[in-house]
Amino acid sequence: MLSGIMLIGGILVITRKNPVHSALALITVLLAQAAIYLMLYAPFVAGVQIILYAGGIMVLFLFVIMLVNIDRAAKERTFNSQWLVGIVAATALGGLFIAVYTKGNNIFPEHALSLIENDNTQKVATMLYGQYMFAFEIASLLLLVAIIGAVVMAKKRI
């Protein structure tokens, strides 16, 4: 079910003419991926997926979409003449998926261990705010400077 939602959302991302609709379809894909992470007992990764990608990165994408001149981009030709290369690549990828699905029974062991990590998030937090605290703060400072720079550049154009 979730993989179907991701596939349909991915198709909508590349087929919508309105970039805002494409961004909303991408948010749907990212939320379905977070749900898959939850099913794999990775709540921290699912939370990061929702907060960082579906939240922060998509807000950034929408901000850029709103700043770009969409009228000029809409007048340009959206698809180029490389349909043959795209169809060949899609067929090869589909053939690879089918081959792995039909003959890939021995990829994973039959009796995989089912370990549910109860303290995964606590271990990540201990490492992030313990040993790597300085690197974490430097990264947050660089992101803050980048955001301020983007706002200043956008304000000069408006």
CATH of the domain at 40: 1.20.120.1200
Answer whether residue 140 is part of any domain: no
Q: Where are the alpha helices (DSSP H) in 16-53?
A: 19-39, 43-48
Answer whether residue 95 is part of any domain: no
Answer whether residue 79 is part of any domain: no
Task: Indicate the average pLDDT of the chain.
Answer: 80
Answer whether residue 145 is part of any domain: no
- By the 8 A CB rule, do 23 and 58 touch? yes
Answer whether residue 24 is part of any domain: yes
Answer whether residue 43 is part of any domain: yes
Answer whether residue 49 is part of any domain: yes
Please give the residue range of the domain that contains residue 2: 1-72
Domain count, the chain: 1
- Is residue 81 helix, strand or coil? coil
Least confident of 21-25, 59-63, 95-99: 59-63
Answer whether residue 55 is part of any domain: yes
Inform me whether the pLDDT recorded for 126 exceeds 60. yes
Higher pLDDT, 86 or 6: 6
68: nearest Cα among 154, 134, 156: 154
Token pair for residue 121?
Answer: 């998030």
Structure confidence at residue 48 as a pLDDT band (50, 70, 90)? confident
Spatial neighbors of 13 by CB under 8 A, at least 6 apart, are: 22, 25, 26, 29
Least confident of 27-31, 100-104, 112-116, 143-147: 112-116
pTM for the whole structure:
0.56
